[in-house]
Structure 1
Amino acid sequence: MNQFVRNLVAPIGRRSCLRMLSTSTDQALLVDVKQNVQWIRLNRPKQYNAITIPMYERLIQLLNEAANDPKISMVTFTGTGKYFSSGNDLNNFTSMEGMDYHQTVDYLTEAVRRLVDTFIDFPKPVLGMVNGPAYGIMATTLALFDTVIASDTATFTTPFTALNQSPEGCSSLLFPQILGPSLASEMLLFSRTLSVEDALRTGFVSRVLPQDQLESYVEQLLYEPKKGLAVALYPNAMTSAKSIIRTKTYKQQLHEVNKNECEQLTRMMHSDETRQLLNKFINRKK
């Protein structure tokens, strides 16, 4: 785990992180609409598609716009390169311009809460095309997607206790429901990695494809003439079906779980122990 964290912060130091956070996310998130399907591609392969604070804001904006756009019937998420996402960019936890560490923590955890709330309320189908390892927030939120198709190179890791943090993304509720209590505890309590085989067996993902066949499979699934999801299915019917699956009462429960998780995460991240741990990793690569 420590080696992964060291690799994650290696490409960018604190000063370059601050410049990055103040720049456009146009290249960090590639967005395209093809036949009523909005594609959102995490595009920071050198940083393992780690999520910056501006990317949180942009993702929330994109999902809200897609929810209200009648030309978009569903959304597909994927990543560029070998990783789906390494989760939060650890450089988020250093102070941004005009903000100290504790202010940054509050801003970040509020961004996490808002993004997860947006996924909870999103009325249209969300498909995850997981092209490689998924960590942290981009592993937990997969449980809020409507279906997940993974590469055979995918793994799923929630290293919260290894970083003195706590679960987010409604994983404290959804992981035990999907994976069962034992596997969920291995991930959330012990920071153990879920294999793609166990993810398929438990229904966390619906299909596993060889890496070099993943994108072509999803393209065919969406766009095959007369059969593709974007071609053969009625958008209003999919939205109606999702509203029955994810009822108002269930969404209220998810929102409450998300709120409680983010409050606990905020407390953990404000601790001196967490701050020292994160600074240790980041300062090592300055």
Structure 2
Amino acid sequence: MSEGRRAVADPGPDHRPAPDHRPAPDEERRAARGVLHRTENGVSWITLDRPEVMNAVSREQRERIIALLTDASADPAVRAVVITATGEGFCAGADLRGGRPEASASADHTSADHTSGGHTSADHTSASHTSASHTSADHTSASHTSASHTSADHTSASHTSADHTSASHTSDASAAGGRERVPGDVARMIRLGAQPFIAAVLDCEKPVIAAVNGTAAGIGAHLAFACDLVLASESARFIEVFVRRGLVPDGGGAYLLPRLVGPQRAKELMFFGDALSAADAERMGLVNRVVAADDLEKTARAWAERLAQGPTRALALTKHLVNASLDTDRASAFAAEASAVEIAMTTRDANEGVASFVERRTPEYRGR
């Protein structure tokens, strides 16, 4: 008998409740707003689950991920986070359709380019890639649900990703009630959509690992770059696709890339919009390690569970110091460091670390 359930007499066939018709596991997965979530061994696993559009992220998915990252920060039982995806794409950018596959095709929909193997090219990375991320999932807002919505005109479903073109940014009608777009609408959408999405990763108090299983384009690439550690399968590609549609990178791209690879490399990636292989991304310092596709989840689990056994508050403070280091002067950085060290010394884990050293044993950190 399960815990908390009382034993009751069988009321007989005429009074028994109707069978519990819960959705099948696969239906529950799809019903979870395109985001799978589970917590195992102190690790919060966040998985984009719309492989039919190369995991182009909708507004609903974006908000769900923000909520999960916020929860991870506050939950002492969560000590590390992994962000990954199902299918062949990590995240093709922002899905302007707002997760409605039946949305009508856009006249500006660009057919997916094909590369070897029938895979769509960088464009294939979804328009979300393009304006996609430029409109950020926000662009899911009605103002972008017009012509920008793409159809499954894409190659095979598994290789498609809506190639939302700049139409989503140039249409005259705004999704908000169909009114004419006015100056400030798009900027507001970026401020309320793409930017908070990326900020949620940067601000999460637990270490976040990206396990990039395939193409990451537009805001999908920025989602990976915002993570603290990046693992990539050998088939992964990273694409700053905005320039292909005459758009400016959004979702913190111009903030993240120069800090990761320097301004010259960042401009090269953003000016040309070429697909960057996992191996080249590793050489540039955008990826920590490239592994075989079959080893990606295993490696992500090993790294995440190792972090989950570490001094969680010390890791949070270290993350904050590193992320802020390029935005501050030396005096401020040193002052922040001194404060962080003092705060860390008040934690139980710091006491455990010192005690284990004195006692010559392996520390057992509790994340407190």
Q: TM-score, normalised by structure 2?
A: 0.56
Residues in 2 aligned to 1:136 and 1:85: alpha-carbon distance in whole angstroms: 8
User: 2:55 is paired with a residue of what secondary structure?
Assistant: coil
Give the Å deviation of 1:82. 0.7
Residues in 1 aligned to 2:64 and 2:221: alpha-carbon distance in whole angstroms: 19
Gaps of 5+ in 1: 1-23, 252-286
User: 2:193 is paired with a residue of what secondary structure?
Assistant: helix
**Residue 130 (structure 2) pairs with residue 53 (structure 1):** no
Give the Å deviation of 1:248. 8.2
Residue 229 (structure 1) aligns with:
307
Residue 40 (structure 2) aligns with:
34
**Residue 294 (structure 2) pairs with residue 212 (structure 1):** yes
73-82 or 182-191, larger mean C-alpha shift: 182-191
| Residues 102-143 of structure 1: CA deviation (Å, up to 9, x unaligned) | 488466422112222323322221100001110111102322
Q: How does 1:59-98 map to 2 (within 5 A)?
A: 59-91=65-97, 92=140, 93-95=144-146, 98=177
Q: How does 1:245-256 map to 2 (within 5 A)?
A: 245-247=322-324, 250=327
Gaps of 5+ in 2: 1-29, 98-139, 147-174, 329-368
Residues in 2 aligned to 1:97 and 1:240: alpha-carbon distance in whole angstroms: 41
Identity %: 32
* More helix as a share of residues: 1
**Which residue of the other structure, out of 172, 185, 196, is the alignment partner of 2:278?**
196
Residues in 2 aligned to 1:239 and 1:205: alpha-carbon distance in whole angstroms: 21
Greater Rg by CA: 2
Q: CA RMSD in A?
A: 2.5
CA contact (8 A) 1:42 1:80 kept: yes
In structure 2, give the amino acid aligned to 1:94: T
In structure 2, give the amino acid aligned to 1:154: A
Residue 240 (structure 2) aligns with:
158
Give the Å deviation of 1:97. 7.7
In structure 2, give the amino acid aligned to 1:62: L
Residue 131 (structure 1) aligns with:
213
Residues in 1 aligned to 2:228 and 2:178: alpha-carbon distance in whole angstroms: 37
| Change in 2 beyond 3 A, CA 1:107/1:39 | farther
Residues in 1 aligned to 2:277 and 2:202: alpha-carbon distance in whole angstroms: 25
In structure 2, give the amino acid aligned to 1:133: T
CA contact (8 A) 2:82 2:304 kept: no
In structure 1, give the amino acid aligned to 2:281: A
| Change in 2 beyond 3 A, CA 1:180/1:153 | same
Residues in 1 aligned to 2:313 and 2:271: alpha-carbon distance in whole angstroms: 40
In structure 2, give the amino acid aligned to 1:184: A
Aligned residues: 224
